[in-house]
Amino acid sequence: MNASTSRRALLVLYTALVFVFIFAPIVSTVVFSFNADRFPSLPWGGFSLQWYEAIFADASIQRGLANSLIVAVATSAIATFLGFAAAYVDYRYRFFGKMAYISIVALPPTVPVVILGVAMLTFEGRIGLSGTLTGITVGHVVLAAPFAMALVRMRLADLDPDIERAAWNLGATPWATITGVVIPFCLPAIFASVFLTAAVSFDEFMIAWFVSGVNETLPVRVLAMLQGQVSPRINAIGALVFAVSMTLVVAAQMLLGRGGRRNAKEA
């Protein structure tokens, strides 16, 4: 009895330490982004929003943020569409080489991003996309679409194939069945994919660094700033990026959680 209580306490402590270890840098970034002092050291120099004011006044950061948002929104829309299409093909059809098809679609995240970035730069340089937001978006779609596919595929695994056939049987054409049955059923996964792929793009540094040229996204801008000087403004940007990414990921999780609970009830 006593042993199990202490084991439990140890487990809680251990878990807490893991979280501290993971989140300490992020927490310190957020904390020091509100520090009035120029240098991130204790004692705290008092609460201040000056670094936030500074970044919002900085045109290059504003441009970086705008670029990041444009790329994230475009990436999210395109990657989710492609991911859904890839997952539906997998769900609906049986064909020769299907395993290869799925493997290839799922491959990009396993390629080191440096390689992906160099490859994107070489390729896009040839077709004149390098240095454009379109170019960054293309790179991010390659990276994010597999996540979208995985999410939709997970949801489709719960769709009884007879449901689609029942729709045809009631006079729905295949297209009407996709829009009226398959997409509504996959909606939680589709929304989750929208948020998750946006987060992947918003955070992505390496491909953007290779491909962006003068059209820097926010992470690329941050690196450029770090190379020049260590400014507490970095902390403010870091806190903002963290907030945006976390919001997107948590939104995705909540949507998936709701879908999961509903399935559990049906079973």
Partner 1 sequence: MTGATAAPMLEIDRVAKRYGETVAVADVSFTIEKGEFIALMGPSGCGKTTTLRMIAGLDVPSDGEIRLWGRRINEDAPWEREAPLVWQNYALFPFLSVVKNVEFGLKQRGLPAAERRRKAMEWMERLGIAGFADRGVDQLSGGQRQRVALARALALEPEMLLLDEPLSALDPHLRVRMQSELVRLHRELGITFVCVTHSHSEAFAMADRVVIMSEGRVQQIGAPREIYRRASNRFVAEFVGGNNLFSGTASGAGEGMVRVDGPFGSALAPRPTDVEILDGQAVTLVVAADRIDLAAAPSGAGNEVEARVVTLEFVGSSVTVFLETTGGAELRVQRSLHQIENTPLSPGQAVFARWAQAEGFFLPA
**Which residues are at the interface with partner 1 (CB under 8 A)?**
160, 162-163, 165-174, 176, 180-181, 184-185, 187, 262, 265-266
Residue closer to partner 1, measured from CB, 25 or 180: 180
Minimum Å distance from CB 236 to partner 1? 43
Residue closer to partner 1, measured from CB, 8 or 262: 262
Residue closer to partner 1, measured from CB, 39 or 95: 95
Minimum Å distance from CB 117 to partner 1? 40
Minimum Å distance from CB 147 to partner 1? 23
- Is-contact 256 151, C-beta < 8 A? yes
Task: For the chain, give the secondary structure using H, E and C.
Answer: CHHHHHHHHHHHHHHHHHHHHHHHHHHHHHHHHCECCCCCCCCCCCECCHHHHHHHHCHHHHHHHHHHHHHHHHHHHHHHHHHHHHHHHHHHCCCCCHHHHHHHHHCHHHCCHHHHHHHHHHHHHHHCCCCCHHHHHHHHHHHHHHHHHHHHHHHHCCCCHHHHHHHHHCCCCHHHHHHHHHHHHHHHHHHHHHHHHHHHHHHCCHHHHHHCCCCCCHHHHHHHHHHHCCCCHHHHHHHHHHHHHHHHHHHHHHHHHHHHHHHHHHC
Instruction: Give the integer Cα–Cα distance in Å for 129 and 123.
Output: 9
Residue closer to partner 1, measured from CB, 170 or 243: 170
Minimum Å distance from CB 229 to partner 1? 54
Residue closer to partner 1, measured from CB, 4 or 169: 169
Residue closer to partner 1, measured from CB, 56 or 168: 168
Minimum Å distance from CB 100 to partner 1? 21
Residue 135's closest CA among 213, 33, 226?
213
Minimum Å distance from CB 152 to partner 1? 15
Minimum Å distance from CB 76 to partner 1? 23
Residue closer to partner 1, measured from CB, 106 or 183: 183
